[in-house]
Amino acid sequence: MIITTMDRAGCMALLQAARLGRLACVGNGQPYVVPITYAADGESLYSFSLLGQKIEWMRQDPRVCVQVDDLDGERGWRSVVVNGRYEELPDRIGWKVQRDRAWQLLSRDADWWQPGGIKPVPEPPTRRIFYRIVVEELTGRHAFPEKDAGAA
């Protein structure tokens, strides 16, 4: 197995190709990791959620981490880690362009609202909260079998 470091372009290509990641945030010293659907655009990852623990914790501490991976065959994989900052896109004057952009990017997939739009029953529905993760630091790794080393 050979593991290489991905350059920024390779990291961004994986972020743009994928739509499912794992978001980590912290509240009261306790880490919390949840799956999110997202859409990458420029230097931001756009997503949404219903009000709950992750939104409350990201409002308290906007520093977050997102991990995205892709399994390639039996032994190959790519993984990107984004350290960034949570930024809510409120439904208020001054944020319409950003909210519309988030909606446009996310709605390209038929089931874009999962898992962020599902809460355990019988919780009452709440409004969607759109947000973006502004990419501040980006790292990635690519692993592949040694027999494929000449092709990489």
pLDDT for res 111:
59
pLDDT for res 110:
54
Computed on alpha carbons and rounded to an integer, the radius of gyration of the chain in Å comes to: 17
Average pLDDT, the chain: 86
Q: Tell me: the pLDDT tens digits for 75-119?
A: 799 999 999 999 999 888 888 888 888 878 888 765 555 554 445
Sheet strands (E) in 12-75: 20-27, 30-37, 39-41, 44-50, 63-72
Pair 85, 62: CB distance under 8 Å: yes
**Prediction pTM value:** 0.83
- CATH T-level fold of 2-151: Pnp Oxidase; Chain A (2.30.110)
Least confident of 9-18, 117-126, 133-142: 117-126
Q: What percent of the chain is modeled with pLDDT above 70?
A: 85
61-86: b (≥16 Cβ within 10 Å) or e:
ebebbbebbeeeeeebebbbbbebeb
Between the two ends of the chain, the Cα-to-Cα distance in Å is: 12
* Sequence spans of domains, the chain: 2-151
Residue 150 has pLDDT above 70, yes or no: no
Angle at 123 between CA 117 and CA 125, to 5 degrees: 50
Report the C-alpha gap between 145 and 151 in whole angstroms: 10
